[in-house]
Amino acid sequence: MSATAEPPTGARPAAPGAAVGCWLHGVVRSAGPAVLAGITGMDGGPVRAVPGAGLVAVVSAAPLAEYGEEPLRRNLEDLAWLERAARTHHEVVAALSRAGAVVPTRLATVYHDSDGVARLLAERAAGLAATLDRLTDRTEWGVKGYVGPDAAARAASGGARGGTAVGGAGAAYLRRRRAELTARDEGQRAAAEAAATVHEALAGYAVAAHRHAPQDRRLSGAPTAMVLNGAYLVDTAALSGFTALVAALAGRHPEVRLELTGPWPAYSFAEERPPEPARTLREAAR
């Protein structure tokens, strides 16, 4: 098992004597050498396990010259650095999730040393263990819904019925434009209603569900607006039924085009998360 993401630009092993912290990727029940072998961490080196309270935290070496509080704050404003860091972090979490349940941490959760990570495990052991129990033999699947071809076609042809009657060409243009906007609104309304119905059906089948805010078209890259951005926690044994339900709903609701994605680490359902990095470096420095 290996992660293929490249480390963020500038990531490299710390110079001898340099301070090195711990970038925390996630918490698992166990992580032996066979699980961790070949997984690349934030600095381009291997990840390692930090055990505590019957759990294991998986961390990367994080040279504080790059990942300390001030340099990290600057780097997080660099979109290219942030994209590469997020990809590397996700690849580690995804590799761990293929071996079993994992509670993924938020991006850029950095501790000063392994002792700080071990304290986290001791402080949050009960909640983290309960979350791991809840996620075991389950995976997260995403269903995105976009305004469908039928609705989009209605929007595009909405003004075709206009004529050049009373008022001349200017008035006819305004009528066509009004009809286009009305058709587009009606198409999006129909797609939104279908998306709500789809989400309700999928949520009823899944163990748990979240409906996230739709992505902007500049992020989704889709030609039509997103009306559903759902996440569903599904029992592994029930996956075939879930995918069949998605296909059936797509056939019943042509107003919305459905896209199934996954499996994903259970980012949307790991409510018991380690805290934000605000407590990490400051706490360990005391």
Q: Judge if 188 and 262 occupy the same domain.
A: yes
pLDDT of residue 222: 86
pLDDT of residue 116: 95
- For residue 235, being part of any structural domain is answered with yes
Residue 264 lies in a domain: yes
Q: Which of 47-56, 106-115, 267-276 has the lowest mean pLDDT?
A: 267-276
User: What is the tens place of the pLDDT at every residue in 94-130?
Assistant: 999 999 999 999 999 999 999 999 999 999 999 999 9
Q: State the Cα–Cα distance between residues 231 and 233, nearest whole angstrom.
A: 7
Q: Within this chain, do residues 104 and 145 fall inside the same structural domain, yes or no?
A: no
The reply to whether 79 and 187 lie within a common domain is: no
pLDDT at 151 over 70: no
| Residue 92: closest CA among 139, 28, 183 | 28
DSSP string across 183-227: HHHHHHHHHHHHHHHHHHHHHHHSSEEEEPPPPPHHHH--SS-EE
Mean pLDDT of 30-42: 94
Task: Please provide the DSSP assignment of 16-67 as one string.
Answer: TT--EEEEEEEEES---HHHHTT-B-TTSSB-EEEEETTEEEEEEEEEHHHH
Tally of structural domains, the chain:
2
252 and 144, same structural domain? yes
In terms of domains, do 120 and 143 share one? no
- Shared domain for 187 and 120, answered yes or no, is no
Residue 106 lies in a domain: yes
Residue 29 domain flag: yes
Of 78, 105, 136, the residue at which a domain comes to its end is 136
Residues 223 and 239 in one domain: yes
* Residue 15 falls inside a structural domain: no
**Which CATH number characterizes residue 259's domain?**
3.30.70
The two tokens of residue 262 are: 């996954």
Same domain, 102 and 121: yes
Give yes or no: residues 143 and 86 share one domain.
no
* 275, part of any domain: no
198 and 132: one domain? no
Q: What is the pLDDT of residues 177-230, one digit of tens each?
A: 665 555 566 778 889 999 999 999 999 999 999 999 998 888 888 888 999 999
Q: Answer yes or no: is 119 within a domain.
A: yes
Residues 131 and 202 in one domain: no
**With the C-alpha atoms ordered 102, 108, 112, 113, is the resulting torsion angle positive or negative?**
positive
Which of 17-21, 22-26, 160-164, 200-204 bottoms out in mean pLDDT, i.e. has the lowest?
Answer: 160-164
Domain assignment present for residue 168? The answer is no
106 or 168: which carries more pLDDT confidence? 106
Distance CA 134, CA 128 (A): 10
- Please give the Cα distance from 162 to 177 (Å, whole number): 9
Q: Residues 187, 115: one domain?
A: no
Q: Which domain holds residue 245?
A: 139-149+182-268
